[in-house]
């Protein structure tokens, strides 16, 4: 009998991702001291394109590398704080570069990629983006936004496959929309364990809107010198798009038959809601201009999902407020908590809070409604609740995980919503939800996310993403935030009624 398991992990390999100290070979890095504007560190591939020895490039003035107009562009961005993810075109010793500026403590980083020239005119690209935004704004559900969003991103980027990957409360990600062609596996409806995108990696998406790996077989480019002369340590590359990739993730992509990938964040309330995962079977490079379009669409998609979710929650909240008002009026009309809350023929607490059953224990009397567990279990449950000293509503959709005895009655009590009235005396109202067996279609065995060799040092990701099904027991449908909030309002009302009356 499988129970819900937490697969989250901090593990990303032996080195923090922000201090990997190498960059991908399609990009170039220059670290410049703020005060003197001289080069203090750079990616070694720069020496090759500007025909300087490593030691000759070190300590070069920025004015030795860039024309006055381009130097002004850079310093202007720094002066007015406009460097945040706004690309600029500059010329480095005869090479046209697209660049991003990252301000650090005492220095800044120029992240550069060669300027890509295409036949697409600005008006054509702008029209495509406007059309994509119009389609997203016309969506009326989160599912629509997800489907339209990935279709538009596939159209703009040309990736073989694009998926919308939504996180649950345990950071497992389920594919809720998919556009794929070619040899890539289909994963629609499949869930991937949280350990596939560990906590450390997820946190980086709060800094970076996207992450592009144009070729998993890239040759890592080291920084020179190895240690940053100002910090005396590895340079923090967390906000750089060209940051190198952990070996375990490159192997993960290989096992998925993916050569190039791009992950684009979806944000909700300042937190990571999901990722748009783009995959390609061959090398795939995107210019900073195209990446910036993806970043813009990510912002639009995030805003649309947040707006629709707010509307859905507001509608649910309005409905519950109306229902709880009716319930309160019924209690006043009957002047009896049992009759007012547990009216079998009309509105009742079970219906308002979407529960399968309700038990109310007041002044030593017990009354129940609909599907409830045996009296002896209810007594034990109240004793257990008393040990937790709860003063406000207590909600769980996995009661057997916290209260072992609930496993025997999980069909009736896998979830509870407890409203303490005077818990010290045993007065409490408990709403129950029965077990809902869930079939999870995992993308590979989640228990084999990371496999260590016998030496305990070398490790590998799982090599199969074939369907691995699991049946989860001892969980109920979750209580929504709106239901919990409504229960707290009702608890306060019931407590006031309880204290003003001596008979029920």
Q: Provide the CATH number for the domain around residue 388.
A: 3.30.450.270
DSSP structure string for 278-310: EEESS-----HHHHHHHHHHHHHHHHHHHHHHH
| pLDDT tops 60 at residue 12 | no
Evaluate whether residue 228 is within a structural domain.
no
Span of 48-52, 140-144, 270-274 with lowest mean pLDDT: 48-52
| pLDDT tops 90 at residue 444 | no
In sequence order, the 6+-apart residues with CB closer than 8 A to the CB of 139 are 145, 148, 304, 308
What number is the average pLDDT over the span 358-379? Answer: 95
CA distance 395 to 484: 7
427 lies in the same domain as 398: yes
What number is the average pLDDT over the span 359-377? Answer: 95
What's the CATH number where 165 sits?
Answer: 3.30.450.40
Evaluate whether residue 52 is within a structural domain.
yes
126 lies in the same domain as 109: no
- pLDDT for the residue 442: 87
Residue-number span of the structural domain to which 359 is assigned: 335-435+474-500
Split at pLDDT 50, 70, 90, the class of 222 is very high
Evaluate whether residue 315 is within a structural domain.
no
Per the CB < 8 A criterion, the answer to whether 156 and 136 are in contact is no
What's the CATH number where 103 sits?
Answer: 3.30.450.20
| pLDDT tops 80 at residue 452 | no
Evaluate whether residue 453 is within a structural domain.
no
Burial 356-379 (b: 16+ CB within 10 A, else e): bbbbbbbeeeebbbbbbbeeebbe
> What are the backbone angles phi and psi of residue 314, rounded to the nearest 5°?
-65, -40
Of 293, 310, 327, which one is at a domain's C-terminal end?
A: 310
When computed from its CA atoms, the radius of gyration of the chain, rounded to whole angstroms, is 29
Range among 178-182, 424-428, 453-457, 500-504 with highest mean pLDDT value:
424-428
Domain count, the chain: 3
6 lies in the same domain as 78: no
- Name the 3-class secondary structure at 24: coil
- pLDDT for the residue 1: 40
CA distance 254 to 462: 11
- pLDDT for the residue 503: 45
- pLDDT for the residue 11: 53
Q: Report the mean per-residue pLDDT for the chain.
A: 90
- pLDDT for the residue 317: 95
- pLDDT for the residue 438: 85
Per the CB < 8 A criterion, the answer to whether 417 and 481 are in contact is no
């Amino acid at each position: 009998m499988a129970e819900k398991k937490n697969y989250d992990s901090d593990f990303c390999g032996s080195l923090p991702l922000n201090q990997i100290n190498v960059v991908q070979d399609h990009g170039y890095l220059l670290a410049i001291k703020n005060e003197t504007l001289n080069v203090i560190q750079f990616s070694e591939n720069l020496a090759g394109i500007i025909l300087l020895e490593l030691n000759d490039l070190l300590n070069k003035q920025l004015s030795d590398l860039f024309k006055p107009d381009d130097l002004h562009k850079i310093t202007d961005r720094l002066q007015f704080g406009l460097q945040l993810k706004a690309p600029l075109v500059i010329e480095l010793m005869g090479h046209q570069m697209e660049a991003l500026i990252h301000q650090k403590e005492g220095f800044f980083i120029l992240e550069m990629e060669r300027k890509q020239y295409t036949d697409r005119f600005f008006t054509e690209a702008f029209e495509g983006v406007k059309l994509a935004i119009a389609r997203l704004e016309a969506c009326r559900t989160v599912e629509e936004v997800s489907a339209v969003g990935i279709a538009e991103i596939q159209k703009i980027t040309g990736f073989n496959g694009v998926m919308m990957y939504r996180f649950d409360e345990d950071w497992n990600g389920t594919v809720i929309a998919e556009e794929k062609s070619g040899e890539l596996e289909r994963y629609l409806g499949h869930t991937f364990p949280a350990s596939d995108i560990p906590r450390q990696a997820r946190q980086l998406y709060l800094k970076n809107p996207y992450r592009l790996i144009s070729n998993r077989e890239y040759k890592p480019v080291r920084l020179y010198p190895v240690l940053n002369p100002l910090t005396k340590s590895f340079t923090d590359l967390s906000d750089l798009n060209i940051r190198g990739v952990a070996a375990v993730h490159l192997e993960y992509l290989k096992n998925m038959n993916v050569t190039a990938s791009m992950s684009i964040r979806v944000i909700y309330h300042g937190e990571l809601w999901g990722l748009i995962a783009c995959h390609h079977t061959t090398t795939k490079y995107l210019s900073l201009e195209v990446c910036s379009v993806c970043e813009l669409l990510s912002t639009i998609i995030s805003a649309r999902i947040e707006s629709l979710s707010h509307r859905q929650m507001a509608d649910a909240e309005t409905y519950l407020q109306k229902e709880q008002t009716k319930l309160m009026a019924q209690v006043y009309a009957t002047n009896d908590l049992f009759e007012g809350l547990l009216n079998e023929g009309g509105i009742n607490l079970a219906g308002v809070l979407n529960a399968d059953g309700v038990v109310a224990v007041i002044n030593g009397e017990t009354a129940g409604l609909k599907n409830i567990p045996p009296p002896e279990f209810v007594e034990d449950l109240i004793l257990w609740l008393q040990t937790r000293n709860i003063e406000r509503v207590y909600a769980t959709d996995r009661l057997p995980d916290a209260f072992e005895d609930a496993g025997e009655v999980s069909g009736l009590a896998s979830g509870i919503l407890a409203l303490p009235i005077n818990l010290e005396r045993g007065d409490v109202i408990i709403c129950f939800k029965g077990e809902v067996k869930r079939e999870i279609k995992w993308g590979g065995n989640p228990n084999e996310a990371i496999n260590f060799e016998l030496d305990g040092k070398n490790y590998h990701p799982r090599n199969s993403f074939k369907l691995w099904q699991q049946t989860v027991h001892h969980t109920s449908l979750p209580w929504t935030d709106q239901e919990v909030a409504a229960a707290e309002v009702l608890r306060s009302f019931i407590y006031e009624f309880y204290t003003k009356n001596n008979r029920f």
